[in-house]
Structures are given as C-alpha cells and as structure tokens.
Amino acid sequence: MIDLNHQPRFHEKVTALVDAALQAESTAREKRRYLGASRLGVSCERALQFEYADAPVDAGAEFPGRTLRIFEVGHALEDLAIRWLRLAGFDLYTRRKEGGQFGFSVANGRIQGHVDGVIAAAPAHLGLAFPMLWECKTMNDRNWKSCLKSGVAVSKPVYAAQIAVYQAYLEPSIPGIADHPALFTAINKDTQELWCELVAFDAALAQRMSDRAVKVITATEAGELLPRIATEPGFYECKYCAWAHRCWSAS
C-alpha cells in the first residue's frame, strides 16, 4: 500500500534529481540506426525487429534512473578492468591508432558492432595466442556464479553470440582474431571477483547470427512481423519485454 503521507527524505530528493537528469540525457541521446551485434543472440526475433526499427517502447517501459545508474557503474568497472589487465602485463588496446573503437559495419551500415578491446600480447606463461578479442561484462552475484559454474555459452548465450559475431566480422581487418580464443572477462559487481574464460571461435554460431540479422532486417523493411518467442503473453520473457503490449496487440 502506498503511503500518501510519505514525505521524501533528503537522499530521496537528491536521487530523484539525479535519476531525472539521467533519464533526460538518455531520451536526448541519438538513437541507434542499426542492428547491434551485441543483441543478435536475443531469443525473440520480433523483439529484435522492434529494436531495429526503433519502435517506441510501451508506456512505463523506459529505463528508470536506477537502471541507468547500474549501466554507468558497469561502464566504470569495465574501465577498471582495462587498467587491471594492463597492470598485469596484458597489451590491451581499446582504440584504433586512427581513433575510435574496434568494430565493423556491414550491410550498408545496418549491422554494426563495437568491441571492448583487442589483446596483442600477455604474460608468456599463460600460453595465449594473438591477436585476441577481449570482451568484458559486469554481473550481479547470481549471474556471475552461474557464469563461473557453466561458462558463458551456457549461462549467457547472448554474450557468446556477440563474441562469435565479432570474431567473424573482425577477421578481415584483424587477421587471426578468429583463429585464437577470445578472452571473456566478467566482473562480479557485488564482490569485484573476476571470471576469465577463453572462448574458441564458433563459426556455426556466427553464421546463424549473421543469417538471423539478415532475416530480421529483411522482414522489418518489408513490413512483416516475425513470429514471437511465445504463444501467450504470460511467458516470462514477454513480461519483461519493453514492447510486450505493442507485440501482443499486433497480429
């Protein structure tokens, strides 16, 4: 029950100001006009269509300020991971010599990806081969432990798909990056523990994701809706989808 007599405390007032500012900044930010490689592993192809078309999300489905703060903390932790690995002897690059992130753009810019970094060398006793793709994620304790137990391909298939696509599409510009396992780093946001995993290139997964991207773009530009992941709106993934109402109101 909502307490109508509740008076915001000082910290709540400041937090509200911060969250409102973050939401305003997010709303004003230029929208992405392409299908991001980091999203190709999402289970529902129709959701990918809405994302690619920049369809307005359902009322109330915008990211709240707290979520935007969580995102920013994740970015800050990734910056720390870069510092930690460099201190540990990893020759890690996050920008090209001419500037800008490492990445790719295909299909007339309609499919793009930007990677966290490329490793050119590391302490010899680790026995690694280079160049090596580097991807970093931050996770809460539950998700981090799941990754530790089962590995990224099982616990976070969206991340595994992202890595495979990056390796495939970066190969022409960074020869050898698909021949060597990628280094996946996950930071536990609750304990700052690190999970580091070598992920071999999965060519079949990369091809499936590439085909999927073409399918999503082709159908969207033709005005066709792809099938939903579920047969009823109570499906757990649908409950958290930003386009659930739009989707289930459509044919």
Each residue of 83-137: pLDDT tens digit?
999 999 999 999 988 888 899 999 999 999 999 999 999 999 999 999 999 999 9
Neighbours of 249 (CB within 10 A): 10
Confidence (pLDDT) at 248: 93
The reply to whether 37 falls in a domain is: no
Rounded Cα distance between 113 and 169, Å, is 9
The reply to whether 216 falls in a domain is: yes
State the pTM of this model: 0.91
Rounded Cα distance between 249 and 177, Å, is 44
Q: What angle do CA 113, 25, 23 make, to 5 degrees?
A: 100
Regions in the chain scoring below 70 on pLDDT: 1-4, 251
Close Cβ partners of 64 (under 8 Å, ≥ 6 residues apart): 19, 23
H or E element in which residue 76 lies = helix 65-87
The reply to whether 6 falls in a domain is: no
Whichever domain contains 222, its CATH number is 3.90.320.10
Find the domain containing 241 and state its range. Answer: 43-249
Confidence (pLDDT) at 97: 84
The reply to whether 17 falls in a domain is: no
CB-CB contact of 104 with 147 (8 Å): no
Could you write out the DSSP letters of every residue in 112-161?
EEE-SEEEEE--GGG---SSEEEEEEEE-HHHHHHHHHH-HHHH-HHHHH
When divided into structural domains, the chain yields a total of 1
